[in-house]
Chains A and B, each alone.
Chain A
Amino acid sequence: MSTFTELPIDLGDDGRASLKDGPDPWAYETKELHPIEDTPEKLAKLLERDGQVRRVDFDPVTRVAGALAFHTVVDLESRQVLETDSMATLFRGYEIILKGRDPRDAIFISSRACGVCGGVHATTSALALEMAFGIQPPPMGTVARNLLLSLEYLYDHPLHLFLLAGPDFSEPAVRSTNPELWSKAQDTPAAGKAKHGFNTVAEIMTGMTPLTGSLYAEALHMTRVAREAYVLIGGKYPHPQTVVPGGISATIDASDMNEIMLRIGKFFDYGQKVVAIWDDIVEFFYEANPQYRHIGTRPKNLIETGQWDDPYAYDGTYANVDSWARQRWSTPGVIVEGKLVTTAMTAVNMGLEEFVEHSFYEEWTGNGKGPRGAQFPEDPLGNPLSPYHPWNKDTIPKPGSTSWKEKYSWSTAPRWDRKAMETGPFSRMWVTALSPPNDKTKFIEPTGHSLRMNVPGGALPKATVEWHVPEIWGAFERNRARANAILYTALIAYDNLLMGLDMMRKGETAVSTSYKVPKDFRMGAGFWGAGRGSLTHHLTMDDGVLENYQILTPSTWMASPKDPWGNPGPYEEAVLATPLLENFEKPEDFKGIDVLRTIRSFDPCMPCTTHIHTDDRVITREVITCACGVDDGSDHNHAHA
């Protein structure tokens, strides 16, 4: 399979790319959408169905970070989802706040785009600045960043598995939506008892009960254990105080390493336990009804920028990005229909585009000199760049009323090779599993179809835990993969900790490098990750200040609205494909648990999905609000016409 099938890029075997000939190679045709409620003939037919076809709206979708609303039309008789629209509904205008600032400020400002995964923005920003400044951290600086990344994940994954997604599998949720499964769970012995101590699957479900469940409480505690280690070198969380261009501003001594090591070590036992918990949950549902494999299913299209830099390979340059990125613990790559189509970071970068046909923005192309008005027709190595690439993107907000036919979200529609991609802990593990091993780790072996993780013993005996690339990709497998990602992350953290101790022994203790902010034109990009998937920052700067700053977050990839060709974003796509297995009699009783399990399996995190856009007015969802008390100074007074 050639790397790009939809983009007009020929990629040679030497990794050099060229633009295909043609008068307007980047041109595309848009397809009109025909949502049900905007299509009278469709609507009339469905309205005849005596209330069996319903709008099912979730506003807000709770137990996700930030402002996400989700609109669906559901046929409750045939148990099919007919229509989905994913809406990002908060806008703060970070981009204009970053533009024109000292580039050094980008680390602390962009961190605050997201308070769930702020630390990763800080590091991604530092990577982008290093590329722009032409600097690189000393090895110990990179080790410290790798530890921060790992510790952030070790807080983030338990938070998602037991505080956000977990309650949907808890006793009260199962009893309320599928009581027949609750009876079955009481009679189903838990296969992983030796690891987690629960006798039956029902006991696990009780443990997952919000607030009062032991697994809920334990997860909350473990998020703190990871954050305690984080703040030893990060200063604080979620917005760390120690990430600087050219390294880290942490004074790391033997006590820090000791206290971090003890906390990482706790995640070996805990990770084994969590894998056993989710294996039991997932297998129980599959056994009860094989259709559960298809909850939240979508094509195996995943993107991964790679993360955890090799401290001796990372040099911060775009020229060498393919080689140093291949030396990461998690290597870059793109999976299309289950096949790994590239492992080159330049190709991952080249394939990026963002579209705004169904988002509250205007098309921005036309201002530059390249094809379709692109400002930068090529990347710094001469590879073609789409006019829709983040380095070329300009944010021109165009507020308007929400219309499923036209525009309905503040998220853009990112695509790679014009395909919707998902990303997450699973994309790191999946790409690594399919890639050739790079001998980075003592503990993890990729096999081409799985990852074998050799977990050191703690209170639990040492064990080899194997995560298999799933045959059918859906919501339950996302959660199972995230459970495995606790071990995957803890082992990479341990690798880095041991490497850091060795550096201390060798006296390689410098953590930062000196630099001057350049005054000429520079481009930079940071390729890194958040708990919920790949994260990139693209910047341009001139005259010592930022010209443009673009953040592409994992949840922007996945909360994406439809693209110009009418193809849904990953949340939309997965909910559309979801069978509705909830047990309900009347439409009034329908709660939408399968839809919610699907959305939450992606671990949505909306704050940074909608951070960067600028505007003075948002008008959404055929807004008919109120004449409020501003004019007369009186108290608030709603008058619905």
Chain B
Amino acid sequence: MATTSQDPKRLQTVPNAGDVFGDETPLGLGNLGGSTDGPLEVVHVFWVAGMSCDGCSVAVTGATNPSVEELLAGTIPGLPRAVLHHPVLSVSAGAGFMKSFHAAARGELGAPYVLVIEGSIPDDQAFPSDSGYYSAMGAGGFDPISEGDQPNRMTDWVLKLAPGAAATVAIGTCATWGGIPAAAGNVTGSMSLTDFLGQDYRSALGVPIVNIPGCAPVGDNFTEVVAGLLMFLQGLGPLPEFDELGRPSWQFKETVHRHCVRAGYYEEGTFAEMPGDQECLVDVGCWGPVVQCNITERGAINHMGGCMVAGGACIGCTMPGFPDKFAPFYKAPPGSFVSGSISRTTGAGIRRLRRMSQANMNRTPLWDRTGHVPTPFAKQMSQPSRVSRIEGFFYKKLQYNGSADLDKVNKTQPNPKTMDFLGRGSHQELERYTPGAPGEGAHVEETT
């Protein structure tokens, strides 16, 4: 039985608890932008968290292309301003925070909205009437909103808001595929948003669920897609392209190995033996060659970091098979035995040839001519080996074949007259800089 403030067994509530910032100011006050050129000036974003760790929210606050504040302040030319309703970031609490959710659920928001789901979807709708939930937000039912205690389940909100959303975006591997709550031992019946809403779901604009996976995802992958969707809604761009699983195809079509900074080691057949080694991480448990992700290209934040860039092995956190199909972590994937062995064999030859060419490239034409590398750092490379010289000879022949033979020209160049100027002693005394003792400052003295 829903209860109200008139109930003689209950105290009255306070209607505006938590509504510190007043009505209609979910986030941000004054001086906000938003394009007036397109059909939309404002788009609401309802962020609903299910079986979530809030990690996707945190990743999004790290995004810079665009940043959340650019989206929320409406400072991106042509784009509408996004009004975010988010349990971690919104300013008002309790009933004040929930007002807009109810307005959207009743179809009375007066502006289009995007629904974002973070976290897996629990099996709450399977519970018989009055028996509970795993994940909830707000209380008091939907129509009418009462002062009762019954929780509004997260899945209720999804069912209320998804049909009217201009677009529905699942962010993170929990919402897109199920993630860790849906892993072996799943006791909450957790599943992905796609599994929950099913194949027939389309947003109000006819768009299926957009999936942006990753645990946590690269923040830019999300904000970029949101910006793309807003461009589309504004009539400024096409609907972004999605792959067969609803992933933004330009972000997820390549394996993370293809753009990996360590992929070259794989090619040359050299592998890290211990965590922290600089080579390819396949033997310490990296699944990169079969994982679709762009973190090695895009970085983790502001184009910096990235799993294998830093030295961490890929555990497939963007993939529907995560985590169980990649466990136990830190164990070499079975498939890498075959591909790794092939790469070791061919890589060994390629590596030796490349080192010889590299040694040649590390000498200027002048040094080739004089046979001398005039730096004390470089004693060990001052005399190229006979094999290297022979290799260099044929290499240059092939390289310049059918074109201008710069090698030939270089061989006839005269050597500069003032080479080894200091060594020949034919110069005036130089002033030598001597650092002073601490506190004294530096000074210059005559050399003797």
Contact = CB atoms under 8 A, between A and B. Distances in A.
B54 A105 contact: no
A617 B1 CA distance: 21
Contact of A234 (B64, B275, B281, B305): B305
B284 interface: yes
A624 B20 contact: no
Interface string B123-159: 0011111111111111101110010111101001001
A172 B306 contact: no
Which of A57, A115, A227, A238 has the most CB atoms of chain B within a 10 A radius of its CB?
A115
* Interface class of chain B by DSSP: loop
A195 interface: no
Given A43-B11, A249-B275, A105 B327 contact: yes
Interface in B251-288: 274-278, 281, 284
A108 B88 CA distance: 24
- Interface size on B, as a range, is 35 or more
* Interface class of chain A by DSSP: loop
A237 B153 CA distance: 29
- Interface size on A, as a range, is 35 or more
Contact of B185 (A97, A168, A230): A97
Contacts of B315: 108, 241
A176 interface: yes
B32 interface: yes
Interface string B29-48: 11110000000000000000
A250 interface: yes
A118 B311 CA distance: 18
Contact of B181 (A92, A104, A167): A92
A115 B57 contact: yes
A545 B73 CA distance: 50
Interface stretch (A48-56, A294-302, A561-569): A48-56
B234 interface: no
Contacts of B49: 67
B385 interface: no
Nearest to A249: B275
A242 B310 contact: yes
B362 interface: no
Interface string A215-252: 00100100110011011111111111110111111111
B88 A63 contact: yes
B242 interface: no
B19 interface: yes
Contacts of B278: 251
A231 B299 contact: yes
Contact of B143 (A43, A98, A638): A638
Interface in B384-435: none
B331 to A, nearest CB: 8
A247 B276 contact: yes
A45 to B, nearest CB: 11
B20 A232 contact: no
A70 to B, nearest CB: 9
A640 interface: yes
A230 B312 CA distance: 13
A547 to B, nearest CB: 14
Interface string A24-65: 000000000000110000010011000101111111111111
Contact of A237 (B14, B137, B138, B300): B300
B311 A249 contact: yes
Contacts of B329: 102, 104-105, 107-108
Interface string A600-641: 000000011001001111111111111111100001101111
Given A230-B305, A641-B1, A592 B55 contact: no
B341 interface: no
Given A607-B53, A619-B131, A237 B62 contact: yes
Nearest to A588: B15
B91 A167 contact: yes
A66 B275 contact: no
A380 interface: no
Interface stretch (B2-10, B224-232, B351-359): B2-10
A630 to B, nearest CB: 5
Contacts of B115: none
A638 B142 contact: yes
A234 B188 contact: no
B275 A92 contact: no
A295 to B, nearest CB: 15
Interface in B50-73: 51-59, 61-62, 64, 67-69, 72-73
A590 interface: yes
A112 B51 CA distance: 11
Contacts of A53: 11
B132 A238 contact: no
Contact of B62 (A176, A224, A245): A224
Given A43-B11, A511-B276, A64 B148 contact: no
Nearest first, the 5 A-B pairs at minimum CB distance are A115-B55, A231-B305, A241-B312, A249-B275, A211-B28
23 contacts: A47-B11, A55-B11, A55-B13, A55-B14, A61-B93, A67-B49, A89-B136, A97-B184, A109-B183, A172-B25, A211-B32, A212-B29, A220-B61, A224-B301, A227-B301, A228-B304, A237-B305, A241-B315, A587-B12, A607-B53, A618-B134, A619-B131, A621-B150
